[in-house]
Each structure stands twice: as structure tokens, then as C-alpha cells.
């Protein structure tokens, strides 16, 4: 890794990938794709982009492998709920808005979190869900999955799910409806909690200022 360049971790594929690149281009950076499509180098600034799995971005940034990252607040918050630090949110980026919701088969009548008592809830966000349940004073069983959470009620793996909702299409096509929202999310810029070497701090500050300009112009 080149310590004379700033390293930004972005999502390789998924809902934030294309918008992350658009933001960086809109901020005036010219991107050159490297072989294998796993990274880009910026032509007109000492910056490299690494395209990685979204769930790996917090670890990359917290470990200092990357200086900054673009990730959903949901991913950052899940890590923080697990009691792991090393990351700070720099700014919201105004795209990738979604919410982390509790959902149930359509027709379930919900009168608040008490309705979840004793139930099984499937999620890929066990720490955020656990924190929510504790705050509500509700004991329930969390079924941790790696994905495809929306099929859990149909397979009788769980009574409820806790998952991201963006357009709502995934819930609808699985006969599920939102009961409650536990986190509002959007893409955020995250940074390593430690300070950067001064020449790179200048590069980072300039990039953050450009991002602020782009985000403000899109409001």
C-alpha cells in the first residue's frame, strides 16, 4: 500500500456502488480503473479507491487499511452496537436512504414492541436488533442469518424479520409489512478515528469539503 496516497473504501457492488463513484466524480476527481476492476486511482489527486464488500468497509477503515469509507449507516451502527469502535461518521451523503425495520406477515396487528415478546426474529443485524429490544424491555429470540431474511417467516424459521427496507418491493413480494422502524439509514462517509499524517489530512479535508459542496447542491 502506498502511504503517500489517501485510500477510500467503497462498495464493490450493491445499492451504494454506482452512487459512490458518481459522488467522487461530481467532486471533480478523475478516475482511472485499474486491472481487475477492484480499484481506481484518482488522476488529479493522490487518492486511491478500493472496491470491497460493504460489510468489510468498517473493518478496513477501523484497521487503518483504508483512511475513509463510504458505507450505509446501518453497517456502521451494527458494528457500534457490537461495542466496536475505531470509526467516526464524517458526514451523511444524501443517497442510499433506507430504514431498518421490523416486519411481519401482512395482516398482523401490532400495538408496539411488546408484541414481539417471546417471538423469534430473523435478521442480519443481530446487534442493532438486540439493542432495540433491550431499550424496549422486550425479550425475544434473535435468529441471525447471512441474507435472504425475507424468506424466514414462510419457512417458519421466525415469526418476524428485522431487515433493511428501501422501496418496499422485497417485503411486498414476500407478503410482509413493516411494523416498526429501528434505524434511519443513508450512505455516510466514515473515517478512521485516529489522525492522519498531515499531508494526507490535507487531501482528506479537501475531499470532504468537495463532498459537502456536492451534497449541498443536491438538496
Binding site for Zn ion (CB under 5 A): 54-55
Give the three cell numbers for residue 184. 434511519
Q: Are 128 and 134 in contact (CB under 8 A)?
A: no
Give the three cell numbers for residue 163. 431487515
129 binds ligand PRP (CB under 6 A): no
What is the DSSP secondary-structure string of 53-73?
A: -GGGHHHHHHTTSSSEEEEEH
CB of 153 to ligand PRP, least distance (A): 14
Which residue from 186, 185, 151, 142 is spatially nearest to 171, judged by alpha carbons? 151
Of the ranges 27-35, 44-52, 168-176, 196-204, which one interacts with ligand PRP (CB under 6 A)? 168-176
Residue 67 binds which one of Zn ion, ligand PRP, none, with CB within 5 to 8 A depending on kind? Answer: none
CB of 94 to ligand PRP, least distance (A): 17
Q: Which is nearer to Zn ion, 6 or 128 (CB)?
A: 128
- DSSP, collapsed to helix, strand or coil, labels residue 51 as strand
Residue with cell 456536492: 214
165 binds ligand PRP (CB under 6 A): yes
Give the three cell numbers for residue 17. 456502488
Gap between the Cα atoms of 14 and 56, Å rounded: 13
Residue 144 binds which one of ligand PRP, Zn ion, none, with CB within 5 to 8 A depending on kind? Answer: none
170 binds ligand PRP (CB under 6 A): yes
Q: Which is nearer to ligand PRP, 74 or 130 (CB)?
A: 74
CB of 15 to Zn ion, least distance (A): 9
Q: What residues does 101 pair with on adjacent strands?
A: 163, 181
Which residue from 219, 207, 186, 168 is spatially nearest to 6, judged by alpha carbons? 207
Give the three cell numbers for residue 39. 480499484
Q: Are 55 and 15 in contact (CB under 8 A)?
A: no
147 binds ligand PRP (CB under 6 A): yes
163 binds ligand PRP (CB under 6 A): yes
Q: Which is nearer to ligand PRP, 67 or 80 (CB)?
A: 80
44 binds ligand PRP (CB under 6 A): no
CB of 16 to ligand PRP, least distance (A): 8
Size of the site for ligand PRP (CB under 6 A): 11
Contact footprint for ligand PRP (CB under 6 A):
14-15, 147, 163-170
Amino acid at each position: 500500500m502506498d502511504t503517500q496516497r489517501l485510500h477510500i473504501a467503497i462498495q464493490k457492488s450493491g445499492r451504494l456502488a454506482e452512487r459512490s463513484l458518481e459522488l467522487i466524480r461530481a467532486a471533480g476527481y478523475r478516475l482511472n480503473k485499474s486491472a481487475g476492476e477492484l480499484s481506481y486511482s484518482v488522476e488529479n489527486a493522490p487518492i486511491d479507491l478500493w472496491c470491497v464488500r460493504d460489510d468489510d468497509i468498517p473493518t478496513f477503515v477501523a484497521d487503518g487499511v483504508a483512511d475513509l469509507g463510504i458505507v450505509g449507516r446501518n453497517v456502521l451502527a451494527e458494528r457500534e452496537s457490537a461495542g466496536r469502535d475505531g470509526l467516526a461518521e464524517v458526514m451523511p451523503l444524501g443517497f442510499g436512504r433506507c430504514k431498518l425495520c421490523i416486519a411481519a406477515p401482512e395482516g398482523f396487528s401490532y400495538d408496539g414492541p411488546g408484541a414481539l415478546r417471546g417471538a423469534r426474529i430473523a435478521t442480519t443485524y443481530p446487534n442493532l436488533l438486540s439493542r432495540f429490544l433491550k431499550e424496549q424491555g422486550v425479550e425475544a429470540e434473535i435468529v441471525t442469518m447471512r441474507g435472504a431474511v425475507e424468506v424466514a417467516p414462510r419457512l417458519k424459521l421466525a415469526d418476524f424479520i428485522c431487515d433493511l427496507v428501501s422501496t418496499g418491493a422485497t417485503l411486498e413480494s414476500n407478503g410482509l409489512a413493516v411494523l416498526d422502524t429501528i434505524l434511519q439509514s443513508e450512505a455516510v462517509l466514515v473515517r478512521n478515528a485516529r489522525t492522519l499524517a498531515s499531508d494526507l489530512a490535507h487531501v482528506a479535508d479537501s475531499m470532504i469539503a468537495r463532498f459537502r459542496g456536492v451534497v449541498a447542491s443536491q438538496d
